[in-house]
Amino acid sequence: MKTSLKIGELVLSPPVLSAPMADCADWAQREIWRRLGGVGLIETEMISARAFVYMGARGEGDPERLRGVESEPRPLSVQIWDNCPETLERLARRLARDLNVSAVDLNFGCPAPAIAKRSESGSYLLRDPQKVGALVERVANACESVPVTAKIRLGLTEDSINARDVAQAVEGAGGAALTVHGRTASQMYRGEADWGEIAKVKSALRRIPLIGNGDIKTAAGAVERLENYPVDGVMIGRAALERPWIFREIAALLRGETPPPEPTPRERRELLLEHFRLELSKFGDELGVVVARRAAVRYSKGLPNGRAFRDKIGRVRSAPEFLAVVESDFIVDDPTSDSI
Ligand SMILES: Cc1cc2nc3c(=O)[nH]c(=O)nc-3n(C[C@H](O)[C@H](O)[C@H](O)COP(=O)(O)O)c2cc1C
C-alpha cells in the first residue's frame, strides 16, 4: 500500500492532498482540515500573480488570498496562476524566499472563462506544452530548493487530450510533481473524471510523482484509486468541503485501521461554529458571515433538515443571526440525541 509520497525533499504522509479551490479552500477551511488531520499536503486557493504584482506596485500589500499564509503551519502549498513568466516569477520568489512555503503549484487546469479565455491562463495553456514547460522552468529556477508542481486537466477537449505531452514538458522543465484532474477543460465539471486517462500519464513520467484527482467521494474510494491506478498520490476537492473529516478516514484506512466514526450532527455543528469563528477572526464580521454562509451550506449536506437550514442560513446578514439559525435549525430533532 502506498503510504507516503515525495515531492522534491518534501515527504507527504499519507500521499493525500487537499485540492486548491477558489473561494472555498481559504485560511479557515485549511485550518479545519489541519485540525481534523490526515492531509499529507494542504493547498491554498489559486492566487493571481498579476494581482500580486499590481497590488505591490500600488503599495497595497499582498492579495487577500495570501493573507495568513505567512504564519500558517507548514507543510503548505500555494497555487498561483498567470501566463507571464516574469509575473509568475515575482510571486513565486516571494512565496519561496520570503514566505518559505513548502511548494509552489502552477495552475494549468482552470477552465473558468475569466482565467482561460480572458486571461489566456489556466487550461488555456494546455494547448502549448512548450509554453507550459517554459513557465515551469522559470518558476522552478526562481524557487530554488522549494519544489514547483503543476496541476493540469487531460487536455482542452476530448479530441485534443495531450496530458502526456504536458507531463513531459513539466518534468523536463524541472517540475517536482504533476496533478492530473481527469476531465478536459471543455467538460468543466460535467461527466466523470476519467481515471483510465489519468493512468496513461504515468508512463510519460520518469522521475516525478503523479497525483490523480477527480470525483473521489469517499475514503474507500481514495484507497481504491491508490491501489488500482498507477498514481503516487490522490487529491480531493469537493468531498473534502462537505466532509472535511474524509482525510482522517483515509489515513486510518491506509494504516489498516477502522476509520473513526462519522461526526454526529452535534459534532458537525461544533465544527461549523469553529469554522465560523475562524472566518470571522480573519475577515471581520461582515465578510466573515458571507464566507461562513457558504461553509454552512456544505456542512449541512445530508442532514435531515439540511434543505430548510440552507434556505435560512443563505439569508442571514450578521454574526448573531448566523448563530441563531445554526442554533435553531441545524439540528431539528431532540438536541440531546446524537443520532441523525
Ligand atoms: C469551488 C471550486 C473551486 C476550484 N478552484 C480551483 C483552483 O483555485 N485551482 C485549481 O487548480 N483547481 C480548482 N478547482 C478544481 C479542483 O481543484 C479539483 O481539480 C476538482 O474539483 C476535481 O476534484 P474533486 O472531484 O475532488 O472535487 C476548483 C473546484 C471547485 C469545485
- Identify whether the C-beta of residue 143 lies closer than 8 Å to the C-beta of residue 137: no
Q: Give the DSSP H/E element, type plus range, for residue 10.
A: strand 10-12
Give dist(CA 335, CA 312) in Å, integer: 19
Q: Are strands 76-81 and 177-181 parallel, antiparallel or unpaired?
A: unpaired
DSSP string, 103-140: EEEEEE----HHHHTSS--GGGGGG-HHHHHHHHHHHH
The 10s digit of each residue's pLDDT in 128-156 is 999 999 999 999 999 999 999 999 999 99
Ligand 1 centroid – CA 77 distance (Å)? 15
Structural fold of domain 265-329: 1.10.1200
Question: How distant, in Å, are the alpha carbons of 292, 295, 315 from that of 308?
Answer: 17, 16, 12
Question: Which of 181, 189, 197, 291 has most ligand 1 atoms within 8 Å of CB, for mutation?
Answer: 181
Of the candidates 281, 284, 256, 275, the one whose C-alpha atom is nearest the C-alpha of residue 323 is: 275
The 10s digit of each residue's pLDDT in 254-282 is 999 999 999 999 999 999 999 999 999 99
- Identify whether the C-beta of residue 20 lies closer than 8 Å to the C-beta of residue 151: yes
Give dist(CA 37, CA 240) in Å, integer: 12
Give dist(CA 61, CA 279) in Å, integer: 21
Question: How distant, in Å, are the alpha carbons of 7, 224, 264 from that of 36?
Answer: 23, 22, 14
Q: Whose CA is nearest to atom 2 of ligand 1?
A: 21
Statement: residue 248 has pLDDT above 60: yes
Under DSSP, the state recorded for 1 is -
Ligand 1 centroid – CA 19 distance (Å)? 6
Residue 8 grid coordinates: 522534491
pLDDT of residue 340: 42
Cβ of residue 185 lying under 6 Å from some atom of ligand 1: no
Residues marked active site are found at 110
Strand, helix or coil for residue 180 = strand
Under DSSP, the state recorded for 84 is -
Give dist(CA 169, CA 134) in Å, integer: 8
Q: Which residue has the cell 474507500?
A: 220
Cβ of residue 46 lying under 6 Å from some atom of ligand 1: yes
CA 244 to chain centre: 12
Share of the chain above pLDDT 90, in %: 94
Statement: residue 322 has pLDDT above 60: yes
- Number of Cβ within 10 Å of residue 231's Cβ equals 25
Using 50, 70 and 90 to split pLDDT, how confident is the model at 68?
confident
* Least confident piece of the model among 72-76, 110-114, 304-308: 304-308
Residue-range domain boundaries for the chain: 5-254, 265-329
The 10s digit of each residue's pLDDT in 13-66 is 999 999 999 999 999 999 999 999 999 999 999 999 999 999 988 999 889 899
Residue 35 grid coordinates: 485540525
pTM above 0.85, yes or no: yes
The CATH H-level (homologous superfamily) assignment of domain 5-254 is Aldolase class I (3.20.20.70)
